[in-house]
Every structure is written in structure tokens, then in C-alpha cells.
Amino acid sequence: MEYVSDFKWEKGLTVKKLVDNYRSIGFQSIELKRAADVIVKMKKNNAKIFLTFTSNMVTSGLRGFFAQLIKLRMADIIVTTVGGIEEDIMKATGEKFAIGSFKQDDVELHEQGVNRVGNLLINNESYMKFEDMMMPIFDKLYKKQKRWAVSDLLKEIGLMLKDEDSILYQAAKNNVPIFCPAITDGSFGFHLYLFQQKHKDFVVDVVKDFGNILLSTSHDEKKGVIALGGSISKHHAILATLLNGGANYAVYMTTAHRTSGSMSGATTNEAKSWGKVKDESDVATVIGDVTITFPLAMIGALEELEEDGLL
């Protein structure tokens, strides 16, 4: 049996050492340490790693960290929502999002042409510039071919970007597929619709991409899922693992709770009832703000992997 230990700061404390100390503090700190351990096991045991996240995390400064993790080969498959695609492209082309407050006057912000995401602010002009950019991109894609699976289309766009901190760019460069099953749920989808009105033979094939994510792994491969937040991005990945025998490793990080009955709040243990996660799998569910919990757990894992010569 393990016992609670008092945590104390020490000079030169590394993130790995901090996270190691979490194992005996209590509550969510123990689960966060377990999450770091599961991530290490995924990598050491050559699991195919699905990294999923919602668009608000790309709004935040985690965007560059995700791109870095792709470069470090800590993610083999990405699943996200279309807002994350849009905002990655915006940032790759120089747009900056401001830090505001959760308590700002939203009516006043609307009058100023500012959109609030929690305590982050995005100007309408950022979307206008994005929209101006998309039609020429779709023209290039259309000239190359008329029918695209979503992941192939996103790879092609990624190759057009020249930003080392771009998720799309790093994924395209490192041959990591990005799946976005709800590609029409945003400005990107609206402009796909407008483009298709003039080019009726231009097709973005979501069903074909479902086949692509299923074929991206197999029953025989070890599979790991790191799901940040919930939504379709989380479910799309664990559905793919379900249809390929279930995940061997799973880390869920969310602010939602299991009592909601939602996909966002569903724990790794609940996933076992569906066969999405294997009965004997290594799992962790961390409740808390992903902008805090994920960097701690992942950096703790990265420092351990680096010590072991695996990075």
C-alpha cells in the first residue's frame, strides 16, 4: 500500500520530478502522474498513438505544442474539429489572438467585432482574412483533382503552409494523417459549400476518410489514445480503436464529469464497457483544464523518454 507524502519544493525541480511527486499527493495529482506513465508506456511499447483535441485548444497556446509533438513522433494519428483546422491556418498566416477576460461584456465585444473563446479573443477580421485565403486554396486543390478524402485534402493544405508551429504543416511534413469528420461545422465548411456551388464535381468525401482511419491501424497493432476534451474528435478515434479490437492504452483529459452521460465526460473505465478500451488496458482519466494538465503530464513523459534515449 502506498501512503500520502508531503510535497516540498526543491531547487532545480524538473517537470518530471514534479510529476513523479504527484503520485503520492492525492486526488487528481495521482491521476495526472498515472497519465504520464501511460503515455510513456504507449511510446515504449510502440503503440500507434491517436491524439485528439477540440478546436478551443488550438485557439490557445497548445497549438505549437501539438505541432512539436507531431515532430517528435509522439502522435501517429490526429483527430480534431474544424475550428482547430481554421485557427491553425489563421495562426500559420500571421493572425494573433488576444488574451481577454471571462468577465468581459459580450454585447460590447460583438459590437466591436470581437469573438470570445473563454478568456481568449478573436477578431472578425481574422475570419475575413481566412475566408479570402480559402477560395484560392480550393482552386489549387480542384485543379489537382476533383475528389478528396478529408485527410488527403488537409495534408495538401498543410504542404502549402510554411510555419514550423503549424499542426497541419508538421503533420503533412511527417506523414501524420489529420482526420476531421465534422469538416463542414464551421467557416471552412461554409466555404467548401460556396465553392461547390460553382464546381459541382468537387467532392470532399467524409465516408472514404472513415475507411482511411479504420485502415490506419489493425487488430494486431498496439493502440493508444490521448483524448483531450470530448466531442466528435474523441469519439472518432475510440470508434476506430473499437473496430480494431480496442485500445491498449488510453488517457482522457477533460473538464466534463462522468455523471453527465456525455462523450466528453465518459471515462476510460466506461469505454471498457463498449470495448473501445481493452479490459486489461492501462488507463487514466484526469479531470481539469487541459491547458494545465496536458503540458505537465506530457512533459513529464517526454523527460522520462529522453532520459531513456527514446526521443
Residues carrying an active site annotation: 276
CA-atom Rg of the chain in angstroms: 20
CB 74 within 8 A of CB 84: no
Sheet hosting strand 114-117, strand order edge to edge: 98-99, 120-123, 114-117
Question: From CA 188, how far away is CA 171, in angstroms rounded?
Answer: 19
CB 170 within 8 A of CB 67: yes
CA 273-29-265 angle, 5° bins: 35
Question: From CA 212, how far away is CA 138, in angstroms rounded?
Answer: 22
Position 170, amino acid: Q
Is residue 50 within a helix (H) or strand (E), and if so which, with residue range? strand 48-53
**Using CB atoms within 10 A of its CB, is residue 307 exposed (0-12), middle (13-18) or buried (19+)?**
exposed
Please give the grid coordinates belonging to residue 23: 503520485
CA 192-166-205 angle, 5° bins: 30
Of residues 93, 181, 80, the one with CA closest to residue 134: 93
Please give the grid coordinates belonging to residue 278: 481493452
Question: From CA 39, how far away is CA 231, in angstroms rounded?
Answer: 21
**Using CB atoms within 10 A of its CB, is residue 25 exposed (0-12), middle (13-18) or buried (19+)?**
middle
Of residues 190, 79, 184, the one with CA closest to residue 134: 190
Is residue 178 within a helix (H) or strand (E), and if so which, with residue range? strand 178-179
